[in-house]
Amino acid sequence: MKNKISQTALIQDVRQLTHILKSAHPDPYFKGSGRIVGVPLGQAGNSCGDIRSFELEHSKIRGSVSTKSFIAFPDDPETGALLRPQHALTYEQFKGYGFDENAALRYALALIADLN
């Protein structure tokens, strides 16, 4: 049988957990003027991150909580679920760059050159 902890120790653990959760806050980043070039990203535009791990002093319960919420697309849940580039690198373009591992970079440089 596991050791029981006192009511006082349990209250202290709850207070510690409350403090941990209150210190975890959303920190959305803002839309900039940059553009994404290449293929859809593996991570969603709207996500959570910056994990804080903890262990409660008395009960030794371990856990983790996200301290930040990254909301790049608050009004567009579809884009928030899968961030698609504004300038997608197609198979034909990739082929045109000889399947070069730097094809997305080369494509971005070509787009910049077209602005001038």
Cβ neighbours for 82, distance < 8 A, ≥ 6 positions apart:
40, 41, 44, 45
The pLDDT of 67-93, averaged and rounded, is 82
Residue 30 has pLDDT above 50, yes or no: no
The pLDDT of 22-42, averaged and rounded, is 57
- How does strand 87-88 pair with strand 37-38? parallel
Q: What's the DSSP call for residue 86? A: S
CA nearest neighbour of 15 among 3, 23, 4: 23
What is the dihedral angle through the alpha carbons of 108, 110, 112, 116, rounded to the nearest 10 degrees? Answer: 180
pTM: 0.46
Residue 56 has pLDDT above 80, yes or no: yes
Confidence of residue 13 (pLDDT cuts 50, 70, 90): confident
Question: 26: buried, middle or exposed (CB in 10 Å: 19+, 13-18, 0-12)?
Answer: exposed
